[in-house]
Structure 1
Amino acid sequence: MKVSTWFVGVAALFVTCLITANILAVKLISPLGFLLPAGVIIFPLSYLFGDVLTEVYGYRATRFVIWLGFFCNLLAVIAFSLGGLLPSASVWHDQNAYQTILGSTPKTLFASFISYLVGEFANSFILAKMKIATKGRWLWMRTIGSTFVGEGVDSAIFIGIVFWSILPLPLLLTAILTQWIFKVLYEVVATPFTYVIVRFLKQREGVDVYDYQTNFNPFKLGTRVEKA
């Protein structure tokens, strides 16, 4: 199908949530005594919009948006790095603050990129397959089930890579579990919002894709989808 304004809008929200979450992640918060990166206040929304894209437009279109988010985030990281390398003006004395907020270590970047790709593709793949298996029923089960797996993989990979040599195993597992539970509960609370967006887009676009013939290779790009 021809790419629509609504598709572009949801894709833009997906990418914005991703990049914003990565910037917020440098701050640690402690709601109810649990240690979490501040990025958790918006990162789960990328999964919500990913669910919407897969449910309405299918895995093929979502695959394109996932890669778009990856390269947009890469561009942002490159720009931040170049900004940090440029010589500072004599009247500006906040280089250390700049590096703390916008600078990233190679290990953190690697963990972020890998966990994002694996988690998002797992989420989209499972939702698409569950849609076929359930014949389009029980959207809540598909969104929560796919997020349960996707966010779990994302949290395990990112925290595992970044903190493996820093935290003892019990604390490492606690950190993974805490983020995982928080993100899944976020999806559960946001489920009515997902229903509203999905219903609106299906009616407005006249599209409800089932990925019966889709090639699920994550490296095969393309946005064309067929009406159900």
Structure 2
Amino acid sequence: MPEKKRHHRYYDLILAAFVVVLLCSNFIGAGKAAVIHLPYFGEFVYGAGILFFPISYFFGDILTEVYGYAYDRRAVWAGFAALAFAAIMAQIVIALPSGPGAYMESYQHGMEVVFGNSWRVATASMIAFWSGSFVNSYVLAKLKIKTQGRYLWMRAIGSTAVGELVDSSLFYMLAFYGLWPTNEVIQVAFAQYFLKTSWEILATPLTYLVVNFLKRKENEDYYDTDTNFTPFRVKV
């Protein structure tokens, strides 16, 4: 008789929040290079989406730590599908003939400026996010077994550092190479990696709080001892 799947009270909510954060951070913030003036360092250029995108890795750590690699893998594929749909929708809406009048003409121009490159941004984001997220989850799951569930702070920060390195190395080169000056692409990529990893360090107390809450409420603390780590499936 097949084993009955456990019902998790909060997994669907975390999955939905994960997809929302992923979509918003990629389509609202990723295309803007913002600048901040730092004492002694001068202008520091960074991608605006960097303020929110690390939340997706925060959710990924929580999903892997509490529910296991397979549940995070399903969330990654859900986010991947959402990004693909958003990119296709953006291109279709832009391609539709706009209504008459100055307002619609201006609106159409604005959409082309903001979302005209969305296919490239979405493609780069999907490749980078897919690769980085699976690396992050895999490293976290393996470290959990290696450390026998101890040192969550080290595992969360370490896995994010590795996953974000893959993500940051891919995203800005694929999305903006040839559109932005090359030195700006490299600068923003480095800034993204540094800030995302720093965000994970600062979020460590919150990670402990949420993970401990979920483990207690769900009565779950999964170890991926017999997990098939292939990324090419959604079964849990």
Under a length normalisation based on structure 1, what TM-score does the superposition of the two structures give? 0.91
Cα RMSD over matched residues? Answer: 1.7
CA contact (8 A) 2:35 2:46 kept: yes
Q: Quick one: which amino acid aligns to residue 5 of structure 1?
A: R
Shift of 1:20: 0.3
Q: Deviations over 1:119-161 (max 9, x none)?
A: 0000000000000001000101011001101111101011232
Deviates more, 1:22-31 or 1:117-126: 22-31
1:177 aligns with 2:190: yes
DSSP-derived class of the 1:212 partner = coil
Change (3 A) 1:76 1:2: farther
Change (3 A) 1:83 1:207: same
Deviates more, 1:27-36 or 1:16-25: 27-36
DSSP-derived class of the 2:234 partner = coil
Shift of 1:3: 4.2
User: Number of residues paired by the alignment?
Assistant: 222
Could you tell me how far apart the structure 1 residues matched to 2:63 and 2:164 are?
17
1:114 aligns with 2:134: no
1:71 corresponds to? 81
1:25 corresponds to? 30
Under a length normalisation based on structure 2, what TM-score does the superposition of the two structures give? 0.88
Shift of 1:34: 1.8
Which protein is bigger by CA-based radius of gyration? 2
Could you tell me how far apart the structure 1 residues matched to 2:113 and 2:186 are?
26
Unpaired runs of 5+ residues, structure 1, are 224-228
Q: Deviations over 1:191-227 (max 9, x none)?
A: 111111100000000000000000000002212xxxx
Unpaired runs of 5+ residues, structure 2, are none
Q: How does 1:54-133 map to 2 (within 5 A)?
A: 54-91=64-101, 92-93=104-105, 94-104=107-117, 106-133=119-146
1:146 corresponds to? 159
Shift of 1:99: 1.6
Identity %: 40
